[in-house]
Amino acid sequence: MYTAETQIRVRYAETDQMGYVYYGHYAMYYEVGRVEALRQLGFSYRELEEMGIMMPVLDSKIRYLKPARYDELLTIKVIIPVMPAVKMNFTYEITNEKGELINQGETTLAFINMENGRPRRLPDVMKKIFEPWFSK
Amino acid sequence: MYTAETQIRVRYAETDQMGYVYYGHYAMYYEVGRVEALRQLGFSYRELEEMGIMMPVLDSKIRYLKPARYDELLTIKVIIPVMPAVKMNFTYEITNEKGELINQGETTLAFINMENGRPRRLPDVMKKIFEPWFSK
Amino acid sequence: MYTAETQIRVRYAETDQMGYVYYGHYAMYYEVGRVEALRQLGFSYRELEEMGIMMPVLDSKIRYLKPARYDELLTIKVIIPVMPAVKMNFTYEITNEKGELINQGETTLAFINMENGRPRRLPDVMKKIFEPWFSK
Amino acid sequence: MYTAETQIRVRYAETDQMGYVYYGHYAMYYEVGRVEALRQLGFSYRELEEMGIMMPVLDSKIRYLKPARYDELLTIKVIIPVMPAVKMNFTYEITNEKGELINQGETTLAFINMENGRPRRLPDVMKKIFEPWFSK
């Protein structure tokens, strides 16, 4: 298991007329959390794409527990529960400044060769980085 | 059961550098589908909020089956499978111009009194509109 | 001069906590207006990119005269004031359901060869479509 | 004159299929820059709204000089050139990681009483914070 935390400040653009963060923006918060989790491991998603591999999202589940509000500093906890292979799972827990859990979710991503659109296993460079976190 | 269809054309703003619709925008497409489904029944979500009732999303599940691309005319099929009460379920099926199913999802929404933030049942005006679709 | 009109319904996602359309979304409304203006002339921006030409925006000016609100049906009037050559100008006027002018703007776009990133003149296929609108 | 700098990392959601930041997102980057400039002065835009004052944007001008790309760390320099009164001007300069100026812009904002929608002068609490920066 690997765990990482990132902070994000809610932008005015992300609120809606309910006065809350629009529900559609959590997927973007998850994306920021994923990318920063990889960066903290020394791996850049940008470089992955430069290697010709992309990671589209296959499915997502989100539970909206409490609203997030403008200018709040949210903490996004990203958990990689199992060693990635042809797919990669992420789970997410977002807490607000009071420490309240406001949002929970999970996503599955695939590794795809950009050239032919075919699924593939995670690249060796990622494998080496991840293995220490998932071996007993 | 009630079913409605809406069409949406993919905007340039909604693509990402993979050349696909960004995965976070499907929640917005669902929102447009929901609102148009209600409008086709003669009910306006705008009026609901003017009555002091809002409908935040409690949870969502999305399966991204195939990518959507810039300028495609997508068809969003919205299904209300059961008579709403304190919650309201929607399921979604998005097809592209070739008729391929590219995205499936579901959301649960609540009815909330804006004044006190408390859950409530659907308002009578909605109940009257929906009942004919769910009685045997 | 060429003029075209498109309608757009304000999405919930596009409002902010002031209860208005977020000021950053007008650029997207302009984009939708531009693309539909070209489509009404029988020209598709998608096909332009498939020909290896893209049209990045060089500059924009926007005046926010009145707020737009959720669910309003806005009319975007797009004007192409002069025959495009290496650049293409668009001006925009957005009116709400009451016919009030709520937003005015202008943008300059370039024609760029995707292959080498170099500016170029508009392609002949566009030239033929536009010329009748700009000859005396 | 008052000057402040903020950094922003380009999110995947903010790119488009050209592989650049979508032109419509710079207005949001400006907003983040403005809010952080105020915060560095000890003033919170959130508190301003809690005082019943909002600051809608009246006009914007943007020059898109070079593209910004995914994952780049951009620096947003915000300049408040003159002491605000009934309006407030901001100018913006965005540079990329190589120090290249990629975007320049300016916006005018108003102070509006939320209660009655009327323009007003900047509140005293802001005036006190700003004055030292604009006196000779």
- Are the C-beta atoms of residues D26 and D71 closer than 8 Å to each other? no
- At residue D136 the predicted structure's pLDDT band, cuts being 50, 70 and 90, is low
Residue D54 half-sphere exposure toward CB, CA atoms < 13 A: 14
Partner residues linked to D6 by β-bridges:
D76
* Model pLDDT, residue A75: 98
Partner residues linked to A79 by β-bridges:
A3, A91
Q: Does position C60 have pLDDT exceeding 70, yes or no?
A: yes
Rg, chain B, Cα only: 16
Distance CA B77, CA B92 (A): 6
* Model pLDDT, residue B98: 98
Chain C (17-36) residues lying within 8 Å, Cβ to Cβ, of chain B: 28, 31-32, 35
Strands of A52-123 (E only): list them: 53-54, 57-64, 73-80, 87-95, 101-110, 112-113
Phi, psi of C114 (to 5 degrees): -65, -35
Which tokens sit at B57?
Answer: 């999303």
Angle at D114 (CA atoms; ends D110, D120), nearest 5 degrees: 40
* Model pLDDT, residue C135: 78
The CATH architecture annotation of domain D2-134 reads Roll (3.10)
Instruction: Name the neighbours of B, counting chains with at least 3 Cβ pairs within 8 A.
Output: A, C, D
The CA distance from D28 to the nearest CA of chain B, in Å, is: 14
Angle at C91 (CA atoms; ends C85, C95), nearest 5 degrees: 155
CB-CB under 8 Å, C13 with A17: no
- Are the C-beta atoms of residues B33 and C12 closer than 8 Å to each other? no
The CA distance from A7 to the nearest CA of chain D, in Å, is: 12
Is D16 considered catalytic here? yes
Pick the residue from chain C with its C-alpha nearest to A71.
C17
- At residue D135 the predicted structure's pLDDT band, cuts being 50, 70 and 90, is confident
pLDDT digits (tens, 9 = 90+) for B47-63: 999 999 999 999 999 99
* Percentage of residues in chain C having pLDDT higher than 90: 97
* Model pLDDT, residue B135: 78
Beta sheet of C101-110, edge-to-edge order: C2-9, C73-80, C87-95, C101-110, C57-64, D57-64, D101-110, D87-95, D73-80, D2-9
Distance CA A117, CA B1 (A): 38
Contacts C12 to B, Cβ<8 Å: 31, 35, 45
Q: Which distant-in-sequence residues (6+ apart) come within 8 Å of C112 by Cβ?
A: C53, C54, C55, C56, C118, C119, C120
Q: Could you give the 3-state DSSP secondary structure of residue B25?
A: helix
Q: Does position D76 have pLDDT exceeding 90, yes or no?
A: yes
- At residue C136 the predicted structure's pLDDT band, cuts being 50, 70 and 90, is low
Q: Which of A81, A85, A96 is nearest to A124 (CA)?
A: A85
Rg, chain D, Cα only: 16
* Model pLDDT, residue D69: 97
Distance CA B79, CA B112 (A): 22
Phi, psi of B120 (to 5 degrees): -150, 170
- Are the C-beta atoms of residues A37 and A74 closer than 8 Å to each other? no
pLDDT digits (tens, 9 = 90+) for D1-41: 999 999 999 999 999 999 999 999 999 999 999 999 999 99
In order along chain A (136 residues), what is the average pLDDT of each group of 10 residues? 97 96 98 97 93 97 98 98 96 98 98 96 94 85
Distance CA A90, CA A55 (A): 12
Q: Does position B14 have pLDDT exceeding 70, yes or no?
A: yes
What's this model's pTM, rounded to 2 decimal places?
0.97
Which residue, chain included where needed, has tokens 């001007």? D89
- Residues D127-133 have a mean pLDDT of 93
Q: Which of A90, A75, A106, A14 is nearest to A45 (CA)?
A: A90
Sign of torsion over alpha carbons D34, D36, D42, D47: positive
Distance CA B9, CA C9 (A): 12
C87 touches D: beta carbon within 8 Å: no
Pick the residue from chain A with its C-alpha nearest to B23.
A57
Q: Which of A11, A45, A49 sits opposite D28 (nearest CB)?
A: A11
Contacts A67 to B, Cβ<8 Å: 56
Distance CA B93, CA C22 (A): 29
Q: Does position D79 have pLDDT exceeding 70, yes or no?
A: yes
Residue type, D21: V
Q: Could you give the 3-state DSSP secondary structure of residue A14?
A: helix
Q: Does position B136 have pLDDT exceeding 70, yes or no?
A: no
Q: Give, in order, the Cα–Cα distances in Å from B86 to each of A121, B59, C108, D14, D95.
A: 45, 14, 51, 36, 50
